[in-house]
Structure 1
Amino acid sequence: MSKEHDTLSIRLADILLKLNNGQKLSLSQLAQEYKVSIRTIQRDLSERLGVLPIQQNNGLYFLEPFYLGKLSIKDIKNFAILAGVAGLFPKLVNDFIRSILDNTISQAYEVKGQTYEDVSQLQGLFEKLQDAIVQHYQLTFLYRVYKPKPPKIPIT
């Protein structure tokens, strides 16, 4: 398998375990380890794992001390479901999760991610939606379906 493709779910689970174990992570070391760009690792930490209390000090990223050791296999399963990658694996049972987090076994898997829209500029809106949902507000969404205009073909 080509190592050029992003193994998103395995990378995120591995980073999650490292953070949970109290490791302080460097962007450049992670980028080198997973053979991705530093920008990809930044996106992993700020967006994909952004729900966690990740702190940054002197170029190192780590979990808030009060949060250490609180992530379980169940948390990893829930994260996989929330991130939409659970269906990429046959079963998310404990033994399988432990095996794919092993660096030797993880090389057997390749997950090709879909192209996602960058919604980082909408963080404030997502926070407002989260607060509204937590407070059990009724929400209504109005949207338009985007239909591109057909190209104009000149008549000659």
Structure 2
Amino acid sequence: MSAEDRKYDRMAARLALIISRLFMGEQLSVQALSQEFMVSERTLRRDFRERLSCLALDYRQGAWSLSSVNEGVRTDRDILHFARVTSTDQLFPVLDSKLISVLTDKSIESPFIVWHEPPERKSTHPGSFWRITQAIVNRVLLDITTVGQHYRWFAPYRLVFFGSCWYLVGEHDHQIQVCVLSNISNVSLTQQKFLRRRSIDERLTDTDFINSLPHFQYVRNVLTGTPPSPSA
């Protein structure tokens, strides 16, 4: 192999690594890359401005990153994060880039069948699901109407899917409250923020608490002497 061929091989390998790291969401410093690849900063600036001109890139504070116009592009890291927060990763002995490439390859028939019970009653108000999600992320209090009950200033902590049903778990009147999502008829976001209590966050990681969700309201009614609400 000639010196010129080796030069182009090194350049191709360098560009491939840079592209993969850009799509992983990294911000790449020319100075740091110069030391890593043992090439001049001038060469790397040419990489970004000429050889990678087909990509929409942003340059801020000495670092290059993928432009916001590529925000819709999902990387393996995004998929792994989604799998972790939804506990989907627990279905597989290992979930890595190799398995993700199989799962997302539309050209092959999936080698897996994962059977979940669907929700007993699918919410007829998908907008409510999104508003609750927004409130959880932004820590905004809600006004919620359920079967026979109205909750003013409800602090939403999590939406939990368990036993073929979605539950909204939060705090109302300084106590943990659980609402069956399909029983919620109206949701309104307020302008009022709230602070999450650590004790409730810790309770939400308790397996026994999750298992109690279908019976939570019944036990609460028994303990408080509250008559049961009419069924939906």
The normalised TM-score by structure 2 is 0.28
Higher RCO (C-alpha under 8 Å, 6+ residues apart): 1
Instruction: Specify the structure having the higher radius of gyration (Cα).
Output: 2
Bigger strand share: 2
